[in-house]
Amino acid sequence: MLIRTEQLSKAYRTGAVELLAVNEVSVEIDQGEYVALMGPSGSGKSTLMHLFGCLDTPSSGRYLFDSRDTSTLNDEELAHLRNREIGFVFQSFNLLARLTAQANVQLPMVYARVSPPDRRARARAMLELVGLKDRMNHRPNELSGGEMQRVAIARALANRPRLLLADEPTGNLDSRTGQDIMRLFDDLAGQGNTIILVTHDQNVADHARRVIRMIDGSVVS
C-alpha cells in the first residue's frame, strides 16, 4: 500500500464560518494504481490532492505515505518527500518562462542534488519519453499547450517518484490535445507508475482504472 488516509479532514476558516473542505476521508491507494479523483468544483478534490502531495497539512486525521505518518515530518523532510517521492502536474503547467524545456525538467533534480551531467542526461531521456526530443531547448513561449504539459509531465517524472499527482492536467487544453496527454498518462500507468488524476471531466476519469468520487468534502464512492 502506497498511501492511506484515516479520517483525514481539512477545515478552512473564512471569517466566522468554518468550511470543511475535506471531511473525514479514509482511502487507501496501492502502488501501481491509476486513480481518478472526481467531483464537481468545490467538492474538496483539489484540497485532498494537496494533502496527498504534502503541500498542505490536515486539520485532523492521519495521512500515511508508504506507512510513514506525514504529521511527524518537519518542513525539510516534507520537502524531501515532495522532491523524491511525488511528482506534480498542474492544470496551468507552471513552467518557468525563462528556462528552456530541458532546464525546467532539471529543476527537481537540482533540489535532489543530482550532478549536472546526470541531470542533463536524464532530462533528455524524460523529454524523449514524452515525445519532445526536438523541443529540448525551446522556452515555454515557443511551445504549444500540449507540449508545455508534456514538459511538465517530464519534470514530474524526473526524480522517478512513486506517486504522480495531476490536477486537471487537460483543463487548459483543447480536447484533441487533451486526448494525447491522457494517452501519455495511460502509457505511464501501463509502465507501473502510480497516478492520481484530479478531474471533473468524466471522459478523463474514464481513462483511470479506479474512480474516487467526492461531494462536499466526503468520498461518496
**53 is a site residue for other proteins (CB under 8 A):** yes
For the bound state, the minimum distance from the C-beta of residue 53 to other proteins, rounded and expressed in Å, comes to: 7
Least distance between other proteins and beta carbon 190 (Å)? 25
**What would the grid cell of residue 26 be?**
479514509
- Which range binds other proteins by CB under 8 A, 19-27, 49-57, 141-149, 179-187? 49-57
Q: Which residue among 9, 70, 83, 199 contacts other proteins (CB under 8 A)?
A: 83
Binding residue for other proteins, selected from 34, 63, 65, 88, defined by CB under 8 A: 88
Q: How far is the CB of 209 from other proteins (least distance, A)?
A: 26
Say if residues 33 and 20 touch (Cβ distance below 8 Å). no
Establish if 70 lies at the interface with other proteins (CB under 8 A): no
Residue in 98, 133, 183, 210 binding other proteins, rule: CB under 8 A: 98
> Residue 55 interacts with other proteins (CB under 8 A)?
yes
The four Cα atoms 108, 50, 5, 195 give a dihedral, to 10 degrees, of -60
Q: Which region among 20-28, 90-98, 139-147, 207-215 touches other proteins (by CB under 8 A)?
A: 90-98
For position 94 contacting other proteins by CB under 8 A, the verdict is yes
C-beta of 56 vs 186, nearer to other proteins: 56
> Which residues form the interface with other proteins (CB under 8 A)?
50, 53, 55-56, 75-76, 79-80, 82-84, 88, 90, 94, 96, 98, 107-108, 110-113, 155, 159
